[in-house]
Amino acid sequence: MLLAPAVVLFVTFVGWPALRAFWIALHTWTGFAPRAEWVGLQNFRLLFGDTVFEQAWGIAGVIALGAAVGLICQFFLPRFNPLGLSRRWLGRIRSWAWMPLLVVLAGVLFWWLYAVTDGDSFFRACVKNNFMYMVVGGVFHFLYAFLFAGALNLPSLRGKKFYRTMIFFPSFISVVGVAVLWQRMYDVRNGLLNSLLQALSIEPIEWLSADHMFYAIISAGVWAGVGSQMILLVAGMQRIPPTYFEAARVDGATERHVFLHITLPMIKEVIMITLTLWVIGSLKVFGLVQAFAITHDEKSSVISVRQYELAFSNRDNIYQMGFATAMAVVLLLLIVILAMALRNLRGRDELEF
Amino acid sequence: MAATEQLILAATRTIEAPFMILVWFTVGVVILAAAEWTRLAVLYVVKTLWVSFSALAFLWVVISSMGTSADFVQHPGRALTQFVDPNCPLAIAAAVAAMLLVGGIIALSCWTGRLSEQAQTARRISVVVRIAMGTAAVVVVLTAAHANGFDRWAVNYSRAWSIARMGDYMVNSALISVGAVGLIMLVASMAAYALTRLEFPGREAVLYSFIAALAIPGQLTLVPLYLMLRTWRIEAIDFVFMDSRFGLTVIYAAGSLPFTIFLLTGFFRSLPGELSESAAIDGCGEMATFRKIYFPLAAPGLTTAAIFNFIGIWNEYNFALVFITNPELKTLPVGLYYLTVTQQYAAEWPALFAGIVILFAPTFSIFLVLQKQIIAGLTLGSVKG
Amino acid sequence: MRLFNGLIAVVVVILSGILLWDLVQEKLTYPGKKVIIYAGMFGPGEPMQLFYAGPPANVAPEHPFGPDAVEHWHALRTAWPEVEAALVTGYRECFGRPLPPLDDPDPQLVEQYRGLKPDYARRLASALGRLDRSSRLSLYHAFARAHPQFETEMILTFERLHPAYTIGAFEDFERLHPDYAVAQRWDGRWVLSANRGRFLTGSDVPDLITGSQAELRILMRENLALALDRALPPGRGIKPEWVQKGILDGEKAYDDPDRTFRSEFYDWVIDRARYEITPEDRDVSGNPYPVGQPVLYLMPRMAQTAVVYYNRAHFKMIGRDPDDIPETNGEFEQICRQVLAAGKEPIAQDGMTYVTDWWGELVTRIIGDDVYRQSVIGGLPRFAGADADPRYLEIAQRLRRWRGENFWMKGFSASKWPGAQRDFGTGRCTFLHTGTWLPTEIAGTRSWDPEVFDLGCFFFPTVEGGTGDPYKMSCHVQGYAVPRDGDEHEGAVLLLRYLTARSQKPMVEKLNYMPAVKGVAFPAALRDIESRMVNASADDFVSEGPPWYSPKWSKFVFTETANRFFVIRSDNSSPEEFVEELERRSQEHYRKIGRGT
Amino acid at C41: M
- From A313's Cα to the closest Cα of chain C, the distance in A is 6
CB C129 within 8 A of CB C89: yes
Please count the residue pairs, one from chain A and one from chain C, whose beta carbons lie less than 8 angstroms apart: 89
Identify the CATH number of the domain in which residue A206 sits: 1.10.3720.10
- Per the prediction, chain C carries an average pLDDT of 79
Q: Is the peptide bond before A170 cis (omega within 30 degrees of 0)?
A: no
- Per the prediction, chain B carries an average pLDDT of 80
| Domain contains A21 | no
pLDDT digits 0-9 by tens, B106-133: 788 777 777 777 778 887 888 888 888 8
Chain B residues whose CB is inside 8 A of the A235 CB are 375, 378-379, 382-383
CB B354 within 8 A of CB B159: yes
Of A6, A172, A236, the CB nearest to B363: A172
Cα C488 from chain centroid (whole Å): 26
- In this structure, the answer to whether residues A82 and A162 fall within a common structural domain is no
pTM of the model: 0.81
Q: Would you call C554 and A189 a contact, using CB atoms and an 8 Å cutoff?
A: no
Of A119, A293, A317, the CB nearest to C214: A317
* C302-317 average pLDDT score: 90
More reliable by pLDDT, B235 or B383: B235
CA torsion C349→C355→C361→C364, rounded to 10°?
A: 170
Taking CA–CA distances from A310, the nearest residue in chain C reads: C555
Residues paired with C483 in a beta bridge: C225
Domain assignment of residue A292, given as a range = 121-346
- From C529's Cα to the closest Cα of chain A, the distance in A is 28
Percent of chain A with pLDDT over 90: 7
- In this structure, the answer to whether residues A163 and A112 fall within a common structural domain is no
Taking CA–CA distances from C217, the nearest residue in chain A reads: A317
Taking CA–CA distances from A309, the nearest residue in chain C reads: C193
Q: Judging by beta carbons within 10 Å of its beta carbon (0-12, 13-18, 19+), is residue B175 exposed, middle or buried?
A: buried
pLDDT score, position A74: 60
**B215 touches A: beta carbon within 8 Å:** yes
The rounded distance, in Å, linking the Cα atoms of B190 and A11 is 16
The rounded distance, in Å, linking the Cα atoms of C183 and C193 is 19
The rounded distance, in Å, linking the Cα atoms of C489 and C470 is 43
- In this structure, the answer to whether residues A319 and A341 fall within a common structural domain is yes
| Domain contains A78 | yes
| Domain contains A228 | yes
CB B268 within 8 A of CB B192: yes
* C421-430 average pLDDT score: 88
Residues 318-347 of B with CB under 8 A from A: 318, 321-322, 332-334, 336-337, 340-341, 344
Of A34, A207, A314, the CB nearest to C215: A314
Residues with Cβ < 8 Å from B128, sequence gap 6 or more? none
**End-to-end distance of chain B based on CA atoms, in angstroms?**
50
List Cα–Cα distances, A118 to A55, A170, B97, C550, C583, in angstroms: 12, 38, 61, 22, 16
Domain end among A94, A118, A142: A118
CB A154 within 8 A of CB A255: no
Mutation to test the C interface, candidates A298, A314, A315, A323, most C Cβ within 10 Å: A314
More reliable by pLDDT, A63 or B349: B349
At C294 the three-state DSSP class reads: coil
The DSSP secondary structure of C478-489, one letter per residue, reads EEEE-BTT-S-H
Taking CA–CA distances from B296, the nearest residue in chain C reads: C3
At B67 the three-state DSSP class reads: coil
pLDDT score, position A346: 61
Amino acid at C564: R
Inform me whether the pLDDT recorded for A323 exceeds 60. yes
How big is chain C by its Cα radius of gyration, in Å? 27
| Domain contains A10 | no
Sign of the C-alpha dihedral, residues C45, A314, A295, C459?
Answer: negative
B99-115 in b/e burial notation, b at 16+ Cβ within 10 A?
eebbebbbebbeebeee
Residues with Cβ < 8 Å from C536, sequence gap 6 or more? C266, C268, C473
Residues paired with C265 in a beta bridge: C517
- In this structure, the answer to whether residues A227 and A246 fall within a common structural domain is yes
| Domain contains A324 | yes
pLDDT digits 0-9 by tens, A152-198: 877 666 667 778 888 888 988 889 999 999 998 988 878 888 888 88
* C398-403 average pLDDT score: 92
- In this structure, the answer to whether residues A335 and A219 fall within a common structural domain is yes
- From A222's Cα to the closest Cα of chain C, the distance in A is 22
* A42-69 average pLDDT score: 61
* B53-72 average pLDDT score: 86
Inform me whether the pLDDT recorded for A209 exceeds 60. yes
Q: Which domains does chain C have, with CATH numbers?
A: 48-160 (no CATH), 169-301+477-530 (3.40.190.10), 306-472+550-592 (3.40.190.10)
Chain A residues whose CB is inside 8 A of the C194 CB are none
- In this structure, the answer to whether residues A155 and A113 fall within a common structural domain is no
A39-55 in b/e burial notation, b at 16+ Cβ within 10 A?
beebbbebbbbeebeee
Neighbours of chain C (3+ CB pairs under 8 A): A, B
Chain C residues whose CB is inside 8 A of the B348 CB are 51, 53
At A29 the three-state DSSP class reads: strand
Domain end among A78, A103, A118: A118
* Nearest Cα residue to A290 out of A189, A220, A205, A192: A220
CB B109 within 8 A of CB A161: yes
Residues paired with C304 in a beta bridge: C476
Inform me whether the pLDDT recorded for C347 exceeds 90. yes
- In this structure, the answer to whether residues A173 and A320 fall within a common structural domain is yes
Q: For residue C261, how many other CB atoms are within 10 A of its CB?
A: 21
- In this structure, the answer to whether residues A323 and A337 fall within a common structural domain is yes
DSSP label of A62? H
Chain A residues whose CB is inside 8 A of the B369 CB are none
CB A271 within 8 A of CB A346: no
Pairing of strands C345-347, C429-435: parallel
Cα B272 from chain centroid (whole Å): 33
**B230 touches C: beta carbon within 8 Å:** yes
Percent of chain B with pLDDT over 70: 86
The total number of structural domains in chain A stands at 2
pLDDT score, position A345: 62
List Cα–Cα distances, C110 to C81, C105, C106, C156, C219, in angstroms: 11, 7, 6, 19, 55
CB C389 within 8 A of CB C318: no
Q: Would you call A150 and B33 a contact, using CB atoms and an 8 Å cutoff?
A: yes
Residues with Cβ < 8 Å from A280, sequence gap 6 or more? A335, A338, A339, B215
Cα C414 from chain centroid (whole Å): 25
DSSP label of C556? I
**A119 touches C: beta carbon within 8 Å:** yes
- In this structure, the answer to whether residues A217 and A89 fall within a common structural domain is no
Q: Would you call C21 and B245 a contact, using CB atoms and an 8 Å cutoff?
A: yes
Inform me whether the pLDDT recorded for C473 exceeds 70. yes
Domain end among A69, A99, A118: A118
- Per the prediction, chain A carries an average pLDDT of 77
Chain C residues whose CB is inside 8 A of the A293 CB are 416
The rounded distance, in Å, linking the Cα atoms of A112 and A199 is 47
The rounded distance, in Å, linking the Cα atoms of A47 and A219 is 29
| Domain contains A92 | yes
Chain A residues whose CB is inside 8 A of the C413 CB are 206, 209-210
| Domain contains A270 | yes
Inform me whether the pLDDT recorded for B324 exceeds 90. no
pLDDT score, position C61: 32
Which range in B111-120, C43-52, C98-107, C333-342 is most confidently predicted, on average pLDDT?
A: C333-342
Q: Would you call C197 and B351 a contact, using CB atoms and an 8 Å cutoff?
A: no
Inform me whether the pLDDT recorded for C487 exceeds 80. yes
In chain A, what's the furthest Cα-to-Cα distance? Answer: 75
Chain B residues whose CB is inside 8 A of the A21 CB are 220-221, 223-224
Amino acid at C318: I
Taking CA–CA distances from B311, the nearest residue in chain A reads: A172
Amino acid at A278: W
Position A59 confidence tier, pLDDT thresholds 50, 70, 90: low
**C70 touches B: beta carbon within 8 Å:** no
Pairing of strands C180-186, C34-40: parallel
The rounded distance, in Å, linking the Cα atoms of B346 and C189 is 13
**C193 touches A: beta carbon within 8 Å:** yes
Q: Judging by beta carbons within 10 Å of its beta carbon (0-12, 13-18, 19+), is residue B228 exposed, middle or buried?
A: middle
- From A191's Cα to the closest Cα of chain B, the distance in A is 7
User: What are the two backbone dihedrals, phi and then psi, of residue C208, each rounded to the nearest 5 degrees?
Assistant: -135, 135
| Domain contains A255 | yes
- In this structure, the answer to whether residues A215 and A339 fall within a common structural domain is yes
Chain A residues whose CB is inside 8 A of the B33 CB are 147, 150
Neighbours of chain B (3+ CB pairs under 8 A): A, C
* C52-80 average pLDDT score: 56
* C518-541 average pLDDT score: 83
- In this structure, the answer to whether residues A97 and A128 fall within a common structural domain is no
> E-strand spans in C461-513?
476-481
**A240 touches C: beta carbon within 8 Å:** no
**B362 touches A: beta carbon within 8 Å:** no
**C535 touches A: beta carbon within 8 Å:** no
**C591 touches A: beta carbon within 8 Å:** no
Taking CA–CA distances from A328, the nearest residue in chain B reads: B220
The DSSP secondary structure of B143-204, one letter per residue, reads HHHHHTT---HHHHHHIIIIIS-HHHHHHHHHHHHHHHHHHHHHHHHHHHHHHHH---TTHH
CA torsion C132→C133→C136→C137, rounded to 10°?
A: -160
Q: Based on DSSP, count helices (H) and strands (E) in chain C, helices before strands.
A: 27, 13
CA torsion B263→B266→B272→B274, rounded to 10°?
A: 100
List Cα–Cα distances, B322 to A308, B314, C503, in angstroms: 9, 16, 41
Taking CA–CA distances from B369, the nearest residue in chain A reads: A165
User: What are the two backbone dihedrals, phi and then psi, of residue C264, each rounded to the nearest 5 degrees?
Assistant: -70, -25
Mutation to test the B interface, candidates C2, C12, C15, C421, most B Cβ within 10 Å: C15
- From B342's Cα to the closest Cα of chain C, the distance in A is 5
Q: Would you call C190 and A32 a contact, using CB atoms and an 8 Å cutoff?
A: no
The rounded distance, in Å, linking the Cα atoms of C52 and A234 is 49
Amino acid at C496: L
Q: Would you call C1 and B345 a contact, using CB atoms and an 8 Å cutoff?
A: no
Position B201 confidence tier, pLDDT thresholds 50, 70, 90: confident
Q: Would you call B175 and C5 a contact, using CB atoms and an 8 Å cutoff?
A: no
Please count the residue pairs, one from chain B and one from chain C, whose beta carbons lie less than 8 angstroms apart: 135
The rounded distance, in Å, linking the Cα atoms of B363 and B377 is 17
- In this structure, the answer to whether residues A140 and A241 fall within a common structural domain is yes
The rounded distance, in Å, linking the Cα atoms of C483 and C207 is 6
How big is chain B by its Cα radius of gyration, in Å? 27
Residues with Cβ < 8 Å from A149, sequence gap 6 or more? A230, A233, A234, A237
The DSSP secondary structure of A170-210, one letter per residue, reads HHHS-HHHHHHHHHHHH-TTT-HHHHHHHHTTPPP--TTST
Question: Crossing angle for the helix pair B19-34 and A138-153, nearest 10 degrees?
Answer: 40
CB B22 within 8 A of CB B29: no
Q: Would you call C189 and B341 a contact, using CB atoms and an 8 Å cutoff?
A: yes
Chain B residues whose CB is inside 8 A of the C353 CB are none
Residues 329-388 of C with CB under 8 A from A: 351-352
Inform me whether the pLDDT recorded for A328 exceeds 90. no
Taking CA–CA distances from B336, the nearest residue in chain C reads: C47
- From C551's Cα to the closest Cα of chain A, the distance in A is 7
